Amino acid sequence: MVIPKQSVAGAEAGRWYMMSVQGGAAHRVGYCASACDGHETREDALEHYLRFQLDRESDLWLDRRSAALACEICGRTTTLRARLGRNQKLFVLCATHQSTASLEELFRRRTAVVLTQDA
Ligand SMILES: [Zn+2]
Ligand SMILES: [Zn+2]
Protein backbone atom coordinates (compact mmCIF):
# COMPACT_ATOMS: atom_id res chain seq x y z
CA MET A 1 0.00 0.00 0.00
CA VAL A 2 1.34 3.42 -0.95
CA ILE A 3 0.26 6.19 1.40
CA PRO A 4 1.45 9.55 2.68
CA LYS A 5 3.18 8.99 6.00
CA GLN A 6 5.01 11.14 8.50
CA SER A 7 8.64 10.40 9.15
CA VAL A 8 8.99 9.47 12.83
CA ALA A 9 12.70 9.75 13.48
CA GLY A 10 15.78 11.72 12.59
CA ALA A 11 16.12 15.20 11.16
CA GLU A 12 12.98 14.79 9.00
CA ALA A 13 10.68 13.79 11.85
CA GLY A 14 7.22 15.21 11.28
CA ARG A 15 7.73 15.70 7.54
CA TRP A 16 5.40 13.89 5.13
CA TYR A 17 6.62 11.48 2.47
CA MET A 18 4.92 9.06 0.11
CA MET A 19 5.76 5.64 1.43
CA SER A 20 5.18 2.06 0.47
CA VAL A 21 4.08 0.22 3.59
CA GLN A 22 4.35 -3.55 3.81
CA GLY A 23 4.37 -5.58 6.98
CA GLY A 24 5.92 -3.21 9.53
CA ALA A 25 8.32 -1.78 6.98
CA ALA A 26 7.97 1.49 5.14
CA HIS A 27 10.15 3.03 2.46
CA ARG A 28 9.86 6.23 0.44
CA VAL A 29 8.65 5.94 -3.13
CA GLY A 30 8.47 8.08 -6.26
CA TYR A 31 10.20 11.44 -6.17
CA CYS A 32 10.06 11.30 -2.36
CA ALA A 33 12.64 8.49 -2.56
CA SER A 34 15.29 10.78 -4.06
CA ALA A 35 15.97 14.47 -3.67
CA CYS A 36 13.02 15.36 -1.46
CA ASP A 37 13.08 17.13 1.90
CA GLY A 38 9.63 15.95 2.84
CA HIS A 39 6.40 17.89 2.88
CA GLU A 40 4.41 20.02 5.31
CA THR A 41 1.18 18.16 4.60
CA ARG A 42 0.02 14.77 3.38
CA GLU A 43 -1.66 16.53 0.43
CA ASP A 44 1.71 17.90 -0.68
CA ALA A 45 3.24 14.43 -0.44
CA LEU A 46 0.43 13.03 -2.60
CA GLU A 47 0.94 15.83 -5.11
CA HIS A 48 4.64 14.98 -5.35
CA TYR A 49 3.75 11.35 -6.01
CA LEU A 50 1.21 12.37 -8.65
CA ARG A 51 3.94 14.26 -10.54
CA PHE A 52 6.14 11.15 -10.44
CA GLN A 53 3.38 8.91 -11.72
CA LEU A 54 2.43 11.31 -14.52
CA ASP A 55 6.09 11.61 -15.57
CA ARG A 56 7.12 7.98 -15.28
CA GLU A 57 4.21 5.66 -14.87
CA SER A 58 1.31 6.82 -16.98
CA ASP A 59 0.00 5.13 -20.12
CA LEU A 60 -2.88 5.85 -22.44
CA TRP A 61 -3.92 3.28 -25.02
CA LEU A 62 -6.64 1.65 -27.04
CA ASP A 63 -7.53 -1.92 -26.19
CA ARG A 64 -9.59 -3.29 -29.05
CA ARG A 65 -10.25 -6.59 -27.34
CA SER A 66 -11.64 -5.20 -24.14
CA ALA A 67 -15.27 -4.41 -23.47
CA ALA A 68 -16.69 -0.98 -24.08
CA LEU A 69 -17.11 0.60 -20.66
CA ALA A 70 -18.30 3.97 -19.46
CA CYS A 71 -15.72 6.76 -19.43
CA GLU A 72 -15.03 7.63 -15.81
CA ILE A 73 -15.35 11.34 -16.54
CA CYS A 74 -18.33 11.65 -18.91
CA GLY A 75 -19.91 8.19 -19.05
CA ARG A 76 -19.63 7.69 -22.83
CA THR A 77 -18.75 4.07 -23.68
CA THR A 78 -15.25 3.45 -24.97
CA THR A 79 -12.56 0.77 -25.25
CA LEU A 80 -9.82 3.25 -24.44
CA ARG A 81 -7.90 2.64 -21.23
CA ALA A 82 -5.40 4.53 -19.16
CA ARG A 83 -3.12 3.63 -16.31
CA LEU A 84 -1.48 5.74 -13.67
CA GLY A 85 1.09 3.99 -11.53
CA ARG A 86 2.31 0.42 -11.67
CA ASN A 87 -0.02 -2.37 -10.56
CA GLN A 88 -2.95 -0.01 -10.45
CA LYS A 89 -6.45 -0.60 -11.62
CA LEU A 90 -6.99 0.68 -15.17
CA PHE A 91 -9.06 3.76 -15.79
CA VAL A 92 -11.62 3.95 -18.57
CA LEU A 93 -11.25 7.21 -20.51
CA CYS A 94 -12.88 8.11 -23.81
CA ALA A 95 -10.95 9.83 -26.63
CA THR A 96 -12.01 13.26 -25.37
CA HIS A 97 -10.88 12.57 -21.84
CA GLN A 98 -7.75 10.58 -22.56
CA SER A 99 -5.32 13.16 -21.22
CA THR A 100 -3.02 13.75 -18.30
CA ALA A 101 -5.53 16.32 -16.98
CA SER A 102 -8.08 13.50 -16.64
CA LEU A 103 -5.51 11.29 -14.96
CA GLU A 104 -4.87 14.08 -12.45
CA GLU A 105 -8.59 14.39 -11.82
CA LEU A 106 -8.97 10.63 -11.24
CA PHE A 107 -5.86 10.56 -9.07
CA ARG A 108 -7.42 13.26 -6.88
CA ARG A 109 -10.62 11.23 -6.56
CA ARG A 110 -8.64 8.14 -5.64
CA THR A 111 -6.59 10.01 -3.08
CA ALA A 112 -9.66 11.74 -1.64
CA VAL A 113 -10.73 8.25 -0.59
CA VAL A 114 -7.31 7.55 0.91
CA LEU A 115 -7.38 10.81 2.84
CA THR A 116 -10.81 10.26 4.36
CA GLN A 117 -10.04 6.65 5.31
CA ASP A 118 -6.88 7.76 7.01
CA ALA A 119 -8.18 10.86 8.78
ZN1 LIG B 1 8.28 14.32 -1.86
ZN1 LIG C 1 -15.17 10.95 -21.46
Q: Is 71 found in the same domain as 38? A: no
| Count of residues in the chain | 119
Strand order in the sheet with 91-92: 58-62, 80-84, 91-92
Give 10-residue mean pLDDT values along the chain (119 residues): 89 93 90 95 95 92 87 96 87 94 90 67
Distance CA 22, CA 59 (A): 26
- Same domain, residue pair 46 and 70: no
The pLDDT value given to residue 96? 95
Q: What is the pLDDT of residue 63?
A: 80
Which pLDDT belongs to residue 36? 96
Q: Which ligand is nearest to the CA of 42?
A: 1
pLDDT for the residue 32: 97
Write down which residue in 9, 33, 55 finishes a domain.
55
- Both 8 and 66 in a single domain? no
pTM, two decimals, is: 0.82
Q: How many CB atoms lie within 10 A of CB 96?
A: 13
Q: Which ligand has the shortest distance to the CA of 75?
A: 2
Residues 115 and 67 in one domain: yes
What residues contact 88, with CB distance under 8 A and at least 6 apart?
none
Separation of CA 39 and ligand 1 centre (Å): 6
Q: Compute, in angstroms, the gap from residue 94 CA to the centroid of ligand 2.
A: 4
Amino acid at site 115: L
Residues with CB under 5 A from ligand 2 (ion): 71, 73-74, 94, 96-97
Count of domains in the chain? 2
Task: Provide the pLDDT for residue 117.
Answer: 65
- In which domain, by residue range, is 61 found? 57-119
CA of 102 to the centre of ligand 1 (A): 22
Distance of alpha carbon 102 from alpha carbon 52, whole angstroms: 16
CA distance 85 to 30: 10
